[in-house]
Structure 1
Amino acid sequence: MDPLLAAPAATPRPLPTQLPRRQPALNPLAAPFPALVTVADSCALVVEACYTLKHGKPQDLISALAGTGRANTFIATHVPGELLEHLPRVAAHYQVPPDAALRLLAGGILPATRAVDLEIRDHLAPRTRHLLRDDPELPRRHRGDPDDAPTMALAELLAPTVIVTQDSVFARFGLAVNPAQWIETAQGLLRAVGLEASYADALVVTELVLRLAWEGAAGLVTAAQRHPVLTLAGVAAAAWLAHRAGYLDRGRWRSGAAKAYEIAQPLLARFGEAALDHVRVRDALIVVDPPTYPTPEQLAARHLARCGRALTPAQLRDALAAGGHRIPATRLKRAMTAHRGFTRLPGDHYTIGRPSQLPRTAPA
């Protein structure tokens, strides 16, 4: 295992300048940007817990990312056991009480993640096989670490993903940012997915308003067709009242438009700055891309990891068909049943992973 501590505890890192979202997006998949699932290893979780305590942050990055609904965090099932192994020396490095860090891990960080069981075939994915090569005769830049293979396998299963790690082996293979930069990267990702979640909410609300307006207009047209005389009388009365109140005056309309443009200018400027920041952050991320020809179980896992709810095979079939992947519901159910990473819930609903928790042997 590579060194966990990439920067001294006394070195301050910039904290987010805005509060993260406290509610997930109404529909996380409504935004036109690909949702980036986060895959974390034990090093990152322990360091984040200690860093949060050290600097008195109101919320850790892992919980904040999950709170947007656009960057759900997943871990391999071996990670909770490794937390207890790394906690004492990381807590000593950051000079924080180990029991306080353990409480934060158990009560805040781990509940914001989901643990996914992997099959042996998941470790045969192309980039995961690189990490399985640990021949000491290989140059260090080509040497992997089998302990980190499950994290890489999970990242490939759920791709496109961002690996949040404090381990340099991922950076050596170009799969993650440098360990000394992962907190800054996670903060940038938090800003980006927060904007994406707000954009998704705006699209959902706009669609709802347009749908209601369309249904209202259709109702008015139907009523006008049934009662044309009453409709003409009502339109004439409304036009006369608007004229008497001055609402049809051109000067008044020009003045109102000018005021609206003046009010909108700061909002447009802020939106432009946020959009540029979003582009910069997304470009700076190292993303594990999905394969060209994904398997049915990969497609099912990726959609369930992002939609934020459990689905039946028929609902999953329809959702994948909207994205251009036509797979029968029976085949999807067979694929999910044959993979340990999926959890079957009552009503024949399926989700990916299960709630994370510390091993039962963890100290109180």
Structure 2
Amino acid sequence: MANSMSLLMLLSLLAFAPLCLCHKKMGGYLYPQFYDYSCPQAKEIVKSIVANAVARETRTAASILRLHFHDCFVKGCDASLLLDGSGSFTSEKVSNPNRNSARGFEVIDEIKQALEKECPQVVSCADILALAARDSTVLTGGPSWEVPLGRRDSRSASLSGSNNNIPAPNNTFQTILTKFKLQGLNIVDLVALSGSHTIGNSRCASFRQRLYNQTGNGKADFTLDPNYAAELRTQCPKSGGDQNLVFLDPVTPTKFDNTYFKNLLAYKGLLSSDEILLTANQESAQLVKLYAERNDLFFEQFAKSMIMMGNISPLTGSKGEIRKNCRVIN
């Protein structure tokens, strides 16, 4: 009991610690004022276009947030995910985590076109993704943070990196944690960033095995509430309907809040990778309970973890390029 209280007190202090707004990796600095002189309207242009896109379709916010995550976990935050395939590499868009599910590319294209008109070849696609992810979070009711800027764009993509580095819905807890640690992130970042599943949808193909005793041992998934499972079966048949969409948070599906963690406590985490945060590790379970009780602490940590994630191995200085079109190298 004493150890649990100590951990909660430590997490409370960490949550209210000042956010680091700059970070050094690979010899370069990222800082929020990077475009203040070269393209002072950049942030407002991104914000305006994202706001219009989310107003047209709320789901877009979660899609953009996911793009940023899936980009950063492969070769760092370098917009490699945005590249279409070419003669020299295969696009990350066709990897297992992205094929038939990654979306929001047209919104990024629209932002890039507007920025190229305002200040040609100044704002990187990687920075557009980082800003758009923050704006998507805020527009759905989540926290805000100052986005460190100055990333440059990759000239290549990594299909193998996308297939192997991005956590999968059916990975074990240890596998997911290892994938986070390889990116310089820890268990607190894992739990907080998983909270992004408070918005958005998942395809039936990502969780069907939990509904039909397909967990590998022929037994029902005891970590899924039986009534919730019965409801999900009406939306996801035993075969077919792989692309059917289900809300990740059935309670407040379009609002960024801590209901996701409350759902986990009720065994209503849609993905196996969600529910194991409660059932597979004591430290992550304590974090789930803390964030379920304290929305403010979740918001504080989510903002800090997003900054940490956005700082994964950025290209800076003379590395990479500033793409004119986010889909192709110059």
**Normalised TM-score (structure 1):** 0.26
Larger radius of gyration: 1
For normalisation by structure 2, the TM-score amounts to 0.27
